[in-house]
Structure 1
Amino acid sequence: MDIATYLAATLKTLRLSRSLSLTQAAELTGVSKAMLGQIERNESSPTVATLWKIATGFNVPFSLFIAPPAAHAPTAYDPQQQAMIVTPLFPWDEALRFELFAITLAPGAVSESTPHESGVIEHVVVIEGELEMQTQGRWQRLAAGEGLRFRGDEPHAYRNASALPVRFHSLIHYVKTA
C-alpha cells in the first residue's frame, strides 16, 4: 500500500471509529470538510502542516498517518512545495510516548507548525546545515550538533535561510493523559 492510500484509509478509519461526520472532524481539526473528504478519497495529498493539524485535532501521534505497521521508512512529503521531507525513525511508541523523525528542509523553505496537544515537548537536533527556529515569538539559529528543547504546544516554525538543505531530528514527547 502506498503512503497516500494508507493515509486516506487511516484518516477515514480514525474518523469513523469516533463516529464523526466530516463536518465534526473539520471542527475538531481546523481542516476544511472539503479537504478532509479529498484526503479520505485519496484525491488530495495534504501538506505536512495539514497532517499536523489533523493529528493534533484527533489527539493522535503524527506518525500514525505516515508509518504503516511493519513498513520500511515511509516518508511524508509536503506536496505543495516539496520543501519538507519527514521520515519516521522511531514511529509512535505508546509505552514511552514519543516519536522521532528525520527531517530535511529545502533551501529557503519555511514550515510553520500549529501547536501540538497540551504538554507536548519537542526536541530538535541539527544533523547537517543550519536551522532557524522560532519559539516564543523569536528566531534563533542552530548549527550542526546543536539542539533545542521547547514547548510544542505553542506555535513554532522552522526556517532554512541557506542555499543548502538542512537535516535535523525532531523528537516529540507527548504528556500522559489521564
Structure 2
Amino acid sequence: MEDPELINQAIASNVRAQRAHRGLTLDALAARSGVSRGMLVQVEQGRTNPSVSTLTRIASALGVTVARLVEVGDVPVVRVVSADDVVTFEQEGGQARLLVGADSPMILELWDWRLAPGGHHDGDPHPAGTREMVTVLQGELTLTVHGKSHVIGAGDAVLFTADRPHRYANEGAEELRFVMSVAEPRDVSDQ
C-alpha cells in the first residue's frame, strides 16, 4: 500500500493542478464543491487526510474521478493496480477501497466496500446522469435512494441513478461487502 503521506501529497498536487487547469480560484472551487475554502487550503497543502465524501465533492466539482485525485504517478495505456497500491479510506463502521478509476472519455471508478453491522455511508448527489452499479458479495445491503429503501442480497446487483442523495447501510448481523462502479458523464465544458 502507498505511504499515506505520499498519497496526501499526491492529492494536494493533483487538486492544485486540476483547479489551475480550469482557472478556478479557491473560492470558486469551494462554491462549486460545497467544501469550505479552509478545508481546500488544507487539502492543497497536504495538511489533512480528506474523507471520501470530501474527495468526492472536490472531484465532482473538477470533473474528474477520485482516482485522479489520489493518483501518485502518470497513467500509462495499461494500468495494473496491485493490491498493495489500492487506496483505502477508513471510516466509522467500515472501509472503502478505490480499486481503480479513469476520467477519460467518461469518469469511471471501481470500489470495494465493507460495512460492519450497523455501519452506513451517506453518498452525496453526483452530477446529473451519474449511474452506480453495485453487486453484493456478502451480507445484505440496504440501499436508500432519494428516501426509498431497497434490500439487495448476496449475489444480487442493482443499477441506480446517483444524482440524488443515497445511502449504503448494513442493517444485518454480518459484515457487508459489495463492489460498486460509478459512471459519471464528463462535463464537456471542462474538456
TM-score of the superposition, structure 1-length normalised? 0.87
Give 1:151's aligned amino acid.
T
- Give the aligned partner of residue 128 of structure 1: 138
- Give the aligned partner of residue 153 of structure 1: 163
Contact 2:129 2:185 in 1 (8 A): yes
Show CA shifts across 1:18-62 (max 9, x none). 222211110111000001111111111111111111111112122
- Give the aligned partner of residue 100 of structure 1: 110
Show CA shifts across 1:102-159 (max 9, x none). 2222332221111111111110111112111101311121111111100011111111
Contact 1:133 1:141 in 2 (8 A): yes
Distance 1:160 1:129 in 2: 8
- CA RMSD for the aligned pairs? 2.2
Contact 1:92 1:99 in 2 (8 A): yes
Q: Percent identity?
A: 28
Segment drifting more, 26-35 vs 108-117: 108-117
Distance 2:106 2:44 in 1: 30
Distance 1:134 1:164 in 2: 19
1:118 aligns with 2:122: no
- Give the aligned partner of residue 97 of structure 2: 86
Distance 1:27 1:78 in 2: 27
Gaps of 5+ in 1: none
Given candidates 82, 86, 94, the residue that maps to 1:74 is: 86
Gaps of 5+ in 2: none
Contact 1:46 1:78 in 2 (8 A): no
Given candidates 9, 12, 32, the residue that maps to 2:13 is: 9
Following superposition, the deviation at residue 95 of structure 1 comes to 4.4
SS in 1 for 2:42: helix
